[in-house]
Chain A
Amino acid sequence: MSTLRGSTAVAGIGITPHHKRGTGGPALKLALEAIVAAAEDAGISPADIDGFVSYGSERSEGQKMMPALGTKELRFAALAWSHGGGIPGALNIAASAIATGQAETVVVYRSLSEYDGARLQVDVAQNDTAAQFLVNGLDSPIQMCAINTTRLIEGEGVPAETLKAMAQAGYHHAQQNPAAVGHGVQLTAEKYENSRWISEPYRLFDSSRENDGAAAVILMSAERARDLTEKPAFLLSAPLGTPAGWGPLEGNQNPLWSSGFSSVAKRLWAESGYGPQDVDVAQIYENTTGMGVAAIIDHGFCTLDEAGEFITFDNLIAPDGRLPINTAGGNLAEGFIHGMGLVVEAVRQIRGTSTNQVRGCSLSLMTGGPGDAVVSSALLGTEETL
């Protein structure tokens, strides 16, 4: 079991606006904006960042940013597998580097822009999609997620209403967040139900957006974070992994209805010493609503049988739902920087600065890209949770 519990904390967060696709300018510049903002937020000089960790197909490598950040020495750099599944795992890599003395101040970040990149589905998935999918008309991640979610709904009997609840919760929270792309968009049940089909069982509002932007968080030792900031968000656990029977198996994963978190969730609760009943708020990466539903089930918040009863709009909204999720709007309604915005929001909840703040929040969960070949989850906590 990991011995990193509480040894590091997030001391700084930074996020650019969620620009419309193709309008955000160069990804490298966006990365710099987010990282400099995170450094200022932490009260350090950007030049002091000595470690860079990202995931997926990040192209704004630390070594490219050094001249602009004034980096004194790059001491650590790494990329977590696989796609969005690796986000909390990137935090874990950063924590490992800090705890073992390889680096002191590590930024975990993601930047993307169609100004100089392709659409995410091309940039990320182009050379990572097996022939079995492509030759049979399956191109986009939403179609592949649809295959999993048909098993969830038709195969396991989880009500399709859970998908609508996920979508509506995100849009509901976006109404309080002026920075959200979905701010001002009321997603009524009628609007959801009348939206066009994309790939059954998914409609337009079941799918995440794509934006140009960047987001970053700065990790350092818990001790230093306490000196620098009022409310560090301590990293309690952030395991990355996949069980036997899961991975890039072209529809042969078991159980296929799942999002692949069974082994990671078990380690998350064992390492952190907490369980789903203790979590105050969760940022659930939803490339599609149904995969988010499966992630909630995978993490033990409810069983397949209880999902219809548990995953309802009322239960998913702040401040009083049983499990408020995606409180800045999530990938659906806040905007999509390959899921990195969810980490920033998870930290805001620990600080008490979310636009949909959960009262007395002390344990904040972020689950990585569901259904990915390798996945990860992170539990952040306040000083009292250590």
Chain B
Amino acid sequence: MNKDTLLNHHLVPKHEILSKKEGEKILEKYGVTPEKLPAIKENDPVAKAIEAKEGQILKITRESPTAGKTHYYRLVSK
């Protein structure tokens, strides 16, 4: 499917790949090891579209009904 169609769809929130440094910051903030983060598969359509590789952390900006914009993090895994 077309990449733009996928990433602009109203159900798909914004996914960003975090740099190593940013990722470590997040892990420290929540006091967790990477495996404890929720996962996203490497072959997930969105992960594929933004070319995320295994081991990277994705920052997902969701529109939450209770809190407005919120951030969620997922670890790219096999």
Same assembly: no
* A-to-B contact residues, CB < 8 Å: none
* B-to-A contact residues, CB < 8 Å: none
